[in-house]
Chain A
Amino acid sequence: DAKTTQPPSMDCAEGRAANLPCNHSTISGNEYVYWYRQIHSQGPQYIIHGLKNNETNEMASLIITEDRKSSTLILPHATLRDTAVYYCIPSGGTSYGKLTFGQGTILTVHP
């Protein structure tokens, strides 16, 4: 399993963009980068995933570096409800969707 490094915590002002970095330098060529979040006491929630191209959906944007060793999740206009633990997880290949969660980043959005 590829190891990931994320900052333990980050703060963001409401309405501003939140940029959450992740280092996954040991990612395999057939692994995608997935981002999930866990809002207090709830089940993890899928946000976005990508292989090598940048991706955007209604929740967020994902920027993956050309060498695929790191990525950044962007929440364009953070709200208080975005306060959560954010996990960056390389997954895919032959893992049958297995997710190996790290410590994640606690994002706190302030009014």
Chain B
Amino acid sequence: DTAVSQTPKYLVTQMGNDKSIKCEQNLGHDTMYWYKQDSKKFLKIMFSYNNKELIINETVPNRFSPKSPDKAHLNLHINSLELGDSAVYFCASTAASWIDMNTEAFFGQGTRLTVV
């Protein structure tokens, strides 16, 4: 069983399109995240949700809109895609809560987005 799964694994699309990436975790975790890894391999957090509520928003353009329909899912919708959005996007989850922040993160295998 894959703990954190993302779909699709690869996504090639044209500038200006709108696309979504889906993430699901079967670990029963309360907190989920989206990270972006750019062409220089630098990993940076974008968003975090705890129990379906947004708790971290790292100054990401409004074109990026995360949605968490339930604790096990965190999707990322991107409007009006730009060339600079090309990157690998990783979903992650942890059992972190306000009671205990110190838990390990489990990452998905990534979605490689290429905007042409």
* Chain A residues within 8 Å of B, Cβ to Cβ: 32, 34, 36, 38, 41-46, 49, 51, 85, 87, 91-101, 103
- The answer to whether B44 touches A96 (Cβ under 8 A) is no
Instruction: Given contact pairs A44-B105, A96-B96, enumerate 7 new A-B contacts (beta carbons under 8 Å).
Output: A46-B105, A49-B102, A94-B101, A96-B31, A96-B48, A101-B42, A103-B42
- How many residue pairs link A and B with beta carbons under 8 A? The number is 67
Complex CA distance for A4 and B30, rounded to whole angstroms: 28
**Consensus secondary structure, chain B interface:** strand
* Chain B residues within 8 Å of A, Cβ to Cβ: 4, 31, 33, 35, 41-45, 48, 50, 55-56, 88, 90, 92, 94, 96, 98, 101-110
Residues of A within 8 Å of B98, CB to CB, are 96
Given contacts A43-B90, A44-B43, A44-B90, contact A97 B105 (CB under 8 A): yes
Residues of A within 8 Å of B50, CB to CB, are 96
